[in-house]
Structure 1
């Protein structure tokens, strides 16, 4: 397998394929210390047996040197979309049967490119054999990591995962001794390293979470928090947000203007009724027309007519004088509404319980969409008005503060003292760390999560912040760590349907066909379960493809041909199920 890239994602992916799945991997990266790779280094953790080719540009000669003709899969993980597209086209020509995994930010272009490359790979190779293994998977590290980052910032909320014909979600709860938890969870996915005792004091008795525990371990963990799997019967409401198009009447006109129009309409109807009663006309249409003429001051004086007609005309003219400023106010309000819809909103005074999102780059923009899909109130902070995510914030009408987060008063303008959580997702590690530390001085108990480039640095920051602020929840996330498992599984020819972050670890949700699988077919759900490695959480049966699949199969259910098993696995457990090698615990 060949991995090409210029940042931490490529290094992490190559290391995971080599060490976890036992693959023969060639890593192509720019030379260390160059502008293309200023921080990309392995240091002392470089895995043994991993071949590394240094090349400033990914040319055809470089791919040939890496063995593209005999390779099984190629991952193109450069940060530049154009570089990945050029290399993908060249690689498909060199090896029609190659499995391609491409990192692209532009999702629409990625879907079109995948179709194009799949059509090219569906033909015959130079020897005339069909390229049956050819396939193209387009992934975005931003899309892959965004749900995990959003879930990190919002404790108690969850991310829905479509699996087995149902919607599943993983929810984090406190210790059972501290209060009520879920009524009937499908499964306990993990025991956290932290929790709350029955007395309400923080519990920190473990260094790392315990993934996929057995029933005995769950029963004994009375003071540890846990992550459980629940079923969602249906989608939780419509997530459509107002974006300024098709705005309702209430969004265009204020309550005062609407009531004023209602009052004027009532006056006009009353004058029309009085005119009809005094004129003796058979139909009210004529009197109403006369009142409207008087209202709009059309020259038709009631000379020589009865006094009551003249009085009604004067009253209608007076009502017309009141209507003129009302129409002017309505026009100005409509203009102001559309102007506000095309500009950034300011945070409301006194807003509380929201998430402060720092950075609206490609990662921040994706996370913002995830938070709004969960109906979480958000206030954004961005220094660059032309950043990618600013347009997303404007379209979703999310309050945004334009300013440098390191400057005094910017976080205060976003209401950090009253916020529920802080997400620091700028492209600079020092900026994220500085923002979290400053926010801690303003709100010591604030839930905070920060994005860091280097995984080792992220681990060190997490441990230090946890020790310095034991009563506050702090998470540090490396995007490459969150995204690498999805890229690795795609290179192995499998797809995962979700990734659940559990503190510093990741639990994968995968869907596998039971037929012909030696670890699944003919075995019961209880036999497949291995503590710390794998657990069947749902089964999609052929006769239940209408959405009524088995969300929590019993332990004695026998998996048979035609079933699709939805399994929660660790990264090492997934290595067993893709049949690459047997992992010894």
Structure 2
């Protein structure tokens, strides 16, 4: 595997492929002087790590050949510049037409065109399911499902299949099965193992070692003494949670809007001072007119000075000298005062328009998710949370942010204010919320918001995005130590996106990778036809302990998941497969079926290469590493 990049995603992807997937990796970097380059250099210098390092400013043809792309199975281009990634991908297709390409693109439409262009160049137009094809991913899109799952139901690695989101959740020893559990993925080595991705666990040999994809008998007997990693559906949990929480009660739209309009902006000190000065000037000129110009009736003493100030009256050429002098004086006063009046009025009107664009939540809202930041990631998280039926209150200080229009269109409560101010969080009812998602682009601001919320609501579930991965890990450890009873998760987008990029590099049939102690599980989608280990066997008979387990069965229609368009786009699955995630154990798998499998690395090799198992069932290789 070859990785070409210049930021934290390249480092996280190298770690994922090396430590979790056990792949041979070569990383191409501009330099090792920055933090991420230094970390990859440390991996390269580690004698136990097979990571190779190559320094080059850009992925030109010479660099790609030197990195071994001619004989590589996959190449990932993860630069922050779309143009650089496109150039590298086109060159790589020339160097090695059969290399599997994974390209990071921020522009979705450009990514779709690039994907089809490169597949045509490789001669894959008629069969986009080949592993030599191109996958274009956005790190923001791939991070969204895990952010949503973390905010909705807590931590756990996620898997996304055709719009549904699943996660691996740990059940402690002695915990009875849940109705939402779909399958047992592993029996953990520790009875109280809370994090299945932890590397600090017992050796995986012996009776107390980890058992990946155990049989039902082993899973049943060890549930009383060992923790278990179970697969459950997040969207199902979201539906149950939505049913339990109260909906927003409909109220009169006019009453609600009038009650929430920020009328107090017209009582600002600036506006009161300017209009007070104008009133004082009018009063003075009215008094002078009454004394010296001898105007009758009395209302003209006020009306005429106002016309003069606003230069709306006729010249007083035929009137008394006092009246002409007062008119000139009123004109000069108008020149001085009117710009101040206009400026203060415009400022107040603009503040009123901005503040009235906000739509605070009703007073009876609770158990909702507070989302701070409606940028690129925040907008997609908001859309996903709304689609799964969650109550959301959004906060964004920039009225031009891309997610503001979406929030208004969906009718989601929105506060266009600075979330670092305690009063704003109070108006979002963060004390009554169930989760807080902080997704702004400022790490310092994100941390300020999290610490403020922890003071007001120590039990709230907090998920925050931080750009610096090391800083994110430090924040998470510190907050968990300070608030041990609360769930705090701080992750960088690169850390959240790396598993999806790694899965794409391993082939389009790989939907995701889930680290489990010192091993890993891969989730794959394959057609039953052509696989003698599956075809003609029942779901129960197709199971191989420590190698693979059938999770879902559906009809083999259209391309495999993830093979049609940019990850996260609405056209990802033009021809969906309706998977049955609770298939009967006696159901016989036919050539027209498609299955989702949880596999070990050995199990995937057997399925993809046709290597036959030994008569003893392959117990000599547990698939770890």
Note whether the superposition's TM-score is higher than 0.5. yes
1:401 aligns with 2:402: no
Deviations 1:229-253 (A, max 9, x none): 46999x989x9xxxxxxxxxx9998
Q: Distance in 2 between matches of 1:499 and 1:19?
A: 12
Counterpart in 2 of 1:552?
Answer: 582
Counterpart in 2 of 1:81?
Answer: 82
Q: Distance in 2 between matches of 1:396 and 1:426?
A: 21
* CA 470–578 in structure 1, closer or farther in 2 if over 3 Å, else same: farther
Offset of residue 146 of structure 1: 0.5
* CA 397–576 in structure 1, closer or farther in 2 if over 3 Å, else same: farther
Helix, strand or coil for the counterpart of 2:98? coil
Counterpart in 1 of 2:440?
Answer: 426
Deviations 1:125-165 (A, max 9, x none): xxxxxxx86411111121112011101111289999557xx
Counterpart in 2 of 1:42?
Answer: 40
Counterpart in 2 of 1:105?
Answer: 106
Counterpart in 2 of 1:208?
Answer: 195
Deviates more, 1:448-457 or 1:469-478: 448-457
1:493 aligns with 2:507: yes
Offset of residue 456 of structure 1: 5.6
Q: Distance in 2 between matches of 1:206 and 1:397?
A: 42
- What TM-score, normalized by structure 2, do the two folds share? 0.61
Deviations 1:470-504 (A, max 9, x none): 32222333433332232223223223446789999
Counterpart in 1 of 2:595?
Answer: 565
Is the 2:111–2:136 Cα contact (8 Å) retained in structure 1? yes
1:475 aligns with 2:462: no
Offset of residue 444 of structure 1: 1.0
Is the 1:26–1:53 Cα contact (8 Å) retained in structure 2? yes
Is the 2:467–2:492 Cα contact (8 Å) retained in structure 1? yes
Q: Distance in 1 between matches of 2:412 and 2:555?
A: 42
Counterpart in 1 of 2:137?
Answer: 139
Helix, strand or coil for the counterpart of 2:153? coil
Is the 1:540–1:563 Cα contact (8 Å) retained in structure 2? yes
Offset of residue 31 of structure 1: 1.1
Offset of residue 441 of structure 1: 0.9
Is the 1:8–1:40 Cα contact (8 Å) retained in structure 2? no
Gap regions ≥5 residues in structure 2: 197-209, 243-250, 258-352, 558-574, 612-620
Q: Distance in 1 between matches of 2:474 and 2:68?
A: 38
Is the 2:32–2:38 Cα contact (8 Å) retained in structure 1? yes
Offset of residue 406 of structure 1: 4.0
Aligned pairs for 1:175-190 (under 5 A) are 181-182=178-179, 185-189=181-185
* CA 123–461 in structure 1, closer or farther in 2 if over 3 Å, else same: closer
Counterpart in 2 of 1:484?
Answer: 498
Counterpart in 2 of 1:17?
Answer: 17
1:92 aligns with 2:114: no
Offset of residue 562 of structure 1: 4.5
Counterpart in 2 of 1:315?
Answer: none
Offset of residue 549 of structure 1: 6.1
Deviations 1:335-385 (A, max 9, x none): xxxx99994534445543221122333222221111111121222233544
Counterpart in 2 of 1:371?
Answer: 385
1:439 aligns with 2:426: no
Aligned pairs for 1:210-249 (under 5 A) are 212=213, 214-215=215-216, 216-218=218-220, 220-221=222-223, 227-229=230-232
Helix, strand or coil for the counterpart of 1:154? helix
Deviations 1:500-542 (A, max 9, x none): 8999999654212334447545666446546676421123356
Q: Distance in 2 between matches of 1:12 and 1:546?
A: 31
1:415 aligns with 2:415: no
Is the 1:510–1:566 Cα contact (8 Å) retained in structure 2? yes
Counterpart in 2 of 1:8?
Answer: 8
Offset of residue 571 of structure 1: 7.1
Is the 1:170–1:228 Cα contact (8 Å) retained in structure 2? yes
Is the 1:148–1:501 Cα contact (8 Å) retained in structure 2? no
Is the 1:379–1:400 Cα contact (8 Å) retained in structure 2? yes
Counterpart in 2 of 1:26?
Answer: 26
Is the 1:105–1:140 Cα contact (8 Å) retained in structure 2? yes
Q: Distance in 1 between matches of 2:520 and 2:20?
A: 14
Deviations 1:374-402 (A, max 9, x none): 12122223354444444443443433334
Aligned pairs for 1:45-60 (under 5 A) are 45-46=43-44, 48-60=49-61
What is the alpha-carbon root mean square deviation over aligned residues? 4.9
Is the 1:148–1:499 Cα contact (8 Å) retained in structure 2? no
Is the 2:17–2:23 Cα contact (8 Å) retained in structure 1? yes
- What TM-score, normalized by structure 1, do the two folds share? 0.65
Q: Distance in 2 between matches of 1:134 and 1:27?
A: 20
Counterpart in 2 of 1:261?
Answer: none
* CA 554–168 in structure 1, closer or farther in 2 if over 3 Å, else same: farther
Q: 1:352 aligns with which of 366, 374, 379?
A: 366
Q: Distance in 2 between matches of 1:361 and 1:3?
A: 28
Counterpart in 1 of 2:120?
Answer: 119
Gap regions ≥5 residues in structure 1: 125-131, 195-203, 240-249, 257-338
